[in-house]
Structure 1
Amino acid sequence: MKSAPCVPTTPWRQVWFGERSTDNVNDVQPPTNESAARVPERATARVAHLTFNDGTPLSIPPDAIVVFIGANNSGKSQALKDMCYEALGIGSGNQRVVVTSVRWQTSGSAEALKQYLEDSGRVSSRSGDHVLVSRRMGSDLSSFLQQWGQDQDPHRVAPFVMYADTEQRLRGSHPVAAAPGYDGPRSEPLQRLSRSKHAQDELASASVRAFARPVFLDRWTGDGQWSLKAGEKPEYVEGQPPDHELRRIESLPLLKDEGDGVKSFVGILLEWQASNHQVAFIDEPEAFLHPPQATMLGQELSRLTSVGERQLFVSTHSRDMLLALLSGTQPVLVVRLHRDGDSTRVSRLSREQVETLWADALLRQSNIFDGLFSQEVILCEGDTDCAFYGEVLARAQTVRDGETLPASGPAFRHTNGKDRIAVAANALRAAGVPLSAIVDIDVFGETKSFNRLVESMGGEPHKFAADLETVQRALDGQAPDTTVDAVREKVLPLLARPGRTPITDADREQLREAFKSQSALKRFGKAGLRYFESEEPNADALESCRSLIRDCHAIGIHVVPNGALESWAPELRTTKGRWLVEALERGIDRLSRFGEAVAFVTAATEAQAPPAGTSPLQTVPVRNESPRLL
């Protein structure tokens, strides 16, 4: 809707984005058919469709937020450049790298476009025949209007587009020349900000929430320049403030002299809030920000995008930014990029998968979401497993005949128990994350949870069924070990020590365990393959167990053959809670089975779950009042 005429004596009557002031609701009358017919059409430009270099198509709703995620160097930033290169002249060459095709959809007449350009402050005030297409380009106004609607001209959408990389948004805090009169053209964000008290108040409020300090537009002390100052705004918003207020304003620090975090936060919001751009491309908006500020920025970006059905494209490496962008009511498309040689593999995380991950409190506290931004992920049962296997892989660099492992190794993420590995694996595989899992051998003890794990890693449970049944039947036929012989076997080594040997906490734990009734599954979980080799010899069960381990390995599930984590250092006679501490204190590379552990973890990095099958990324915009992923 066209903005109301500006009244010089009440300059704040024209509110942000040209919305009519609602200070006096009695002024607002229901539109008649005649008045509705006089409302001019609106010029718009939106991204309608993308094609990635692996051939994946993606349709974009006109009011969508699109979030590109992935590991470092996966092509997130390049995707944004590819999308707006032709329109804004951004990039280093004409060849698109990640996004190979962009289809824009425009609407509105040339007259509507001219009105949009004038409202944007892009028409030259001197001659009225020159238009600032973008900060990099200008054009003759009449020629530009003639090109409107010609799909082959990429520059036609430039006035509708905002691009903000790190350098660009830091420059947004710099002072600019004062605007030439209230009705003069205002091409800079600060100049446009001066027209909206509402936008100024919201910017100040966001700064207070994020940094406990407001910002305001200083139009009085800059000697012909306007700037953002950090501090309380003056009480006088019209006319010239009194001398004592001017002195206070002059003493306040310029925003451009503040830290990069504040400048980046305010610079992004200033550009997206004070402009009438319809499409924004923002590269890693969380840069320079701590997680709480990144969350606040994401929430603000989501809210501002909902004004006027705008589009927002973001590349991010931040879980906090991703979740904040999902918090609004806009349709959100989460697209993960994975570089595979010269090609970029594209996957999309569905709404249900994100909600499942985030709804599980234990998974929420285990940094599983960070796996979406990793080159590859290894899922483990607990944080102790992650710490041990991660340290083994790090130390392996020193035992490989001079070969150095890649600097960006896998991210180890735990799921607070083996039962939740399947939940995390379903989501991460669907998002295209290269994935494997490490589990203890007692995973073979329960059919349903084992089948869920196999399915989540792309396997077919029926192919494991026969061997699994053989192992479980052998375990079911074993009696508990609470016999005199079993207790004697555990206690005699302790009693054989010299009489004055102190009893340690580990010894006490061993004595308690000796008198506990342990099921066959628990004993199997501690002994691993040795259980069927020597403790309870069973050739068929042993062969089936080995077959299960091989078949699991083929789909990225790596089963500890000796039982559990503690089996990598059986010489450490300590409690389960102290095991990792003592292993680290002794030195991982000095443990008796360090070499075996290296081979095991290395195999886990090489044998991964097969990629999840993906369908074309088609979306249908469905309006509702709750956050959603399409």
Structure 2
Amino acid sequence: MTQEASNVTELDASTRRVRPALFFESITFSDGTILTFDQDDIVVFVGPNNAGKSATLRELESWVGFPRPGVVITSATTRKAGTVDDLRAFLEQNSQKSGNAESPHYGGIGYNINERNLHYFDQVGDRRPVAPFFARRLPTETRIKDSDAAPAIALFQSPPTHPIHMLLMDKNLTADISAKFRHAFGQDLTPFRAGGSSFPLYVGTKPVLKTGMDELSREFIEELQRTNVLLDNQGDGMRSFAAVLLHVLAARTHSIQFLDEPEAFLHPPQARLLGKYIAESRREESQLFIATHSADILDGLIEGGSSKVRIIRLRRDGKVNRVKELGKDQTQAISKDTLTHFSRVFDGIFFEHVIICESDADCMFYQSILSLRSISSDRRPDVLFVHTAGKHRMAKLADTLRALDVPVSVVADIDVLNEENTFKRLIESLGGNWPDIRSHWKAISDAVISQRPPLNAGQVTSMIAKEIDGMTGVGEFPSDKENNIKRIFKTISPWSALKQSGRMALPSGEVTRQFDQLHEKCAVLGLWMVPVGEIEGFCRSIGSHGPGFVEKVLEERNLETDEELKEARDFVRKLWERATHGRP
């Protein structure tokens, strides 16, 4: 069931022994997908609600101790570094011992192991007694209390059992975590060294240490308590942020960590910072498995460690959890492509469906229509609309989302047919076969160009010259002349008439039949060409364009009943029915 391989990776400088560790080598999911892992991977599970992200973390945590098939994970293999003797030597030096000499207990952050149970490290089928030493899950439900005051111990005599103990013994670590906390919240995070029965954390501006003072000096303690506030009494966001920092950055015993929804209780800026911090500052040679609903956490993780981040999207299909991975190379490529990265492409992996449009105004219009009960019924569509500021980036976004098994639809103005390469790339990005499409496209393209060849430079210049003939003076340029010149540029291309009138601008007969066949084949792929040319064609009585058009439609028309918008409703209804019933 579980295979093992020696993996000597890290030595403890004082003993020269291998630092004991466990890692996941491979994981088999319920859809049969098998993924293999490196020992320093950051694995991010994403997907819509109820896809199995949190269940995956729980099942993996359980697998470390007692391998058994779960709902999402059907099998896994692990590898270990070190031996039982290496584990014993490490615990002797780094754990808090209790009990008698013949059968001591080794305690530390998250674990308490009896010496008699150390042999379970070699037991492939059951490692439950030692598993908490190697793996820890930080669940959402306990997050805000995980940064509460640590119990008192004899510092520098007893090994730590809480991450705050690490702060008390390591000033550099304390300064690092406090700096990160200040960056997020504008306040320091200071451990209270004179805690007595417990060691809490304080939030505020840390008092300046005067000459001859230390953090146990009475003057420092009184100033800290007067000007700072206990973290335990702060908001959930601060407490959750601190808890994740402490357990990921300070608790470095675990070679496998599971982090469920690190964004819980956080605003987007803090979530992004937290993702960056845990990616760039986690323990080396350790695996981090994260379940998240937050594109901000994902952006931060990629910023802090894009070379290690693997994005795995889960989607429930009946009783099966479908798995699709965006590997480290693809993740890095997206992170370096600024336009793609900031087009909300990563937001799409948290939705059941993504609809790509050309502009923000298009997104607003189609989203408003889709939200009608007559279109999407009582259930609010779990859909993200994204725009690409033109046609040329549609294919790239579709490629990225489909690589993660995100269902995608693309809505493009009818002049997407203008450029063969752009249209071909879009068809192929949606899984289409260009030779099956090209004959339809060529018939339409030839007909459009033959109807009216493109205007050349001389013709355009002559038309503009007529508009400005006789114009002099220093007054404002007449708005009617400006509009006339703009219309000239809109008519340069032979496709302008098609965009303004849509399918009706095509010659009747064979060319129209070719367009209808092309439109159906594209719809099967998820590409929807606007039959009226562009969104303004759905309501021609409104003279505005772009955002102004959409604003007037939303303010002046009843989207549900307006007769002029019937074609828009029919168009979106067909798109949504095709999307919800699946595509080949």
TM-score greater than 0.5 by the shorter chain: yes
Q: Does 1:416 align with 2:386?
A: no
1:357-413 CA-partner distances (Å, limit 9, x unpaired): 444444344322211221110111111111000000112x0x36xx83422432111
Letter in 2 for 1:415: T
Trace 1:444-593 onto structure 2 (pairs within 5 A): 444-479=417-452, 509=483, 513=487, 517-532=491-506, 537-587=507-557, 588-593=559-564
| Secondary structure class of the residue paired with 2:393 | helix
Unpaired segments ≥5 residues, structure 1: 1-16, 21-34, 483-504, 614-630
Cα deviation, residue 423, structure 1? 0.5
- C-alpha distance in 2 between matches for 1:117 and 1:314: 27
- CA distance in 2 between counterparts of 1:164 and 1:230 reads 22
User: Cα–Cα, structure 1 residues 197 and 238, in superposed 2: closer, same or farther, change >3 Å?
Assistant: farther
- 1:244 pairs, out of 201, 219, 228, with 219
Whether 1:75 and 2:90 are equivalent positions in the alignment is no
1:458 and 1:605 mapped to 2: Cα distance? Answer: 19
Q: State whether structure 2 residue 140 is matched by structure 1 residue 162.
A: no
Give the aligned residue type for 1:78.
A
SS in 2 for 1:477: helix
8 Å CA contact 1:54, 1:343 repeated in 2: yes
Match of 1:366 in 2: 343
Contact 1:376–1:434 (CA under 8 A) maintained in structure 2? yes
Distance 1:163 1:585 in 2: 50
Measure the CA separation in 1 of the matches of 2:58 and 2:449.
61
Could you tell me which amino acid in structure 2 is paired with residue 264 of structure 1?
A: S
Task: Report if the CA contact (8 A) 1:124-1:130 is conserved.
Answer: yes
Partner of 2:197: 224
Q: Does 1:197 align with 2:171?
A: yes
Q: Which residue of 2 aligns with 1:490?
A: none
Q: Hey, what's the Cα distance between the residues in 2 that align with 1:447 and 1:215?
A: 59
- Tell me how far 1:506 sits from its aligned partner: 10
Change over 3 Å in CA distance of 1:465–1:115 after alignment to 2:
same
Q: Please show how residues 71-110 of structure 1 align to structure 2 within 5 Å.
A: 71-87=48-64, 96-110=70-84
CA contact (8 A) 2:214 2:220 kept: no
TM-score, length of structure 1 as denominator length:
0.79
For 1:382, the equivalent position in structure 2 comes to 359
1:176-195 maps to which residues of 2 (within 5 A)?
176-195=150-169
* Counterpart Cα distance in 2 of 1:201 and 1:463: 63
What amino acid maps onto 1:85 in structure 2?
A: S
In structure 2, relative to structure 1, the CA distance for the partners of 1:138 and 1:320 (3 Å cut) is same
Cα distance in structure 2, aligned partners of 1:149 and 1:238: 50
**One-letter identity of the residue aligned with 2:59:** D
Distance of aligned partners of 1:359 and 1:350 in 2 relative to their CA distance in 1, 3 Å threshold: same
Measure, in 2, the Cα distance between the counterparts of 1:145 and 1:354: 40
Partner of 1:425: 398
1:593–1:612 CA distance, 2 compared to 1 (3 A): closer
Change (3 A) 1:512 1:138: closer
* 1:428/1:435 contact within 8 Å kept: yes
In structure 2, the partner of 1:32 is none
TM-score, scaled relative to structure 2: 0.85
1:266 corresponds to: 242
Match of 1:211 in 2: 185
| Shift in alpha-carbon separation, 1:126–1:308, aligned structure 2, 3 A | farther
CA distance in 1, matches of 2:397, 2:508: 35
Correspondence for 1:145 among 98, 108, 118: 118
Task: Work out whether residues 66 and 125 of structure 2, in 8 Å CA contact, stay in contact via their aligned partners in 1.
Answer: no
Q: Which one is further off, 223-232 or 179-188? A: 179-188
- 1:431-464: per-residue Cα shift (whole Å, max 9, x none)? 1101111111111222111100000000001001
- Match for residue 603 of structure 1? 574
Letter paired with 1:107 = A
The within-5 A match list for 1:318-397 is 318-327=294-303, 328=305, 331-395=308-372, 397=373
Counterpart of 1:316 in structure 2 is: 292
> How far apart, CA to CA, are the structure 2 residues paired with 1:543 and 1:56?
43
Q: Is the 8 A contact 1:286 1:321 kept in 2?
A: yes
Distance in 1 separating the partners of 2:137 and 2:284: 18
2:148 equivalent in structure 1: 174
Amino acid at match of 2:234: E
Aligned pair count?
545
Q: Give the Cα–Cα distance (whole angstroms) in 2 for the partners of residues 107 and 409 of structure 1.
A: 44
Q: Which has the higher contact order (CA 8 A, sep 6+)?
A: 1
Letter of the structure 1 residue corresponding to residue 233 of structure 2: D
Looking at structure 2, the residues matched to 41 and 361 of structure 1 have their Cα atoms a distance apart, in angstroms, of: 42
Change over 3 Å in CA distance of 1:150–1:89 after alignment to 2: closer
Does the CA-based 8 Å contact 2:359-2:390 persist in structure 1?
Answer: yes
Aligned-residue sequence identity (percent) comes to: 30
Q: What is the alpha-carbon root mean square deviation over aligned residues?
A: 3.2
- Alpha-carbon contact 2:501-2:533 (below 8 Å) kept: yes
Q: Does 1:253 align with 2:224?
A: no
Structure 1 counterpart of 2:268, one-letter code:
P
2:275/2:297 contact within 8 Å kept: yes
Aligned twin of 1:42: 19
1:238–1:102 Cα change, 3 Å? farther
Moved more, 238-247 or 424-433: 238-247
SS of the aligned residue for 1:470 comes to helix
Report how far residue 294 of structure 1 moved.
1.9
Q: CA deviation at 1:48?
A: 1.5
Contact kept, 8 Å, 1:217 with 1:227, in 2: the verdict is: yes
Aligned to 1:296: 273
Consecutive unaligned residues of structure 2, counting only runs of 5 or more, are 1-9, 456-478
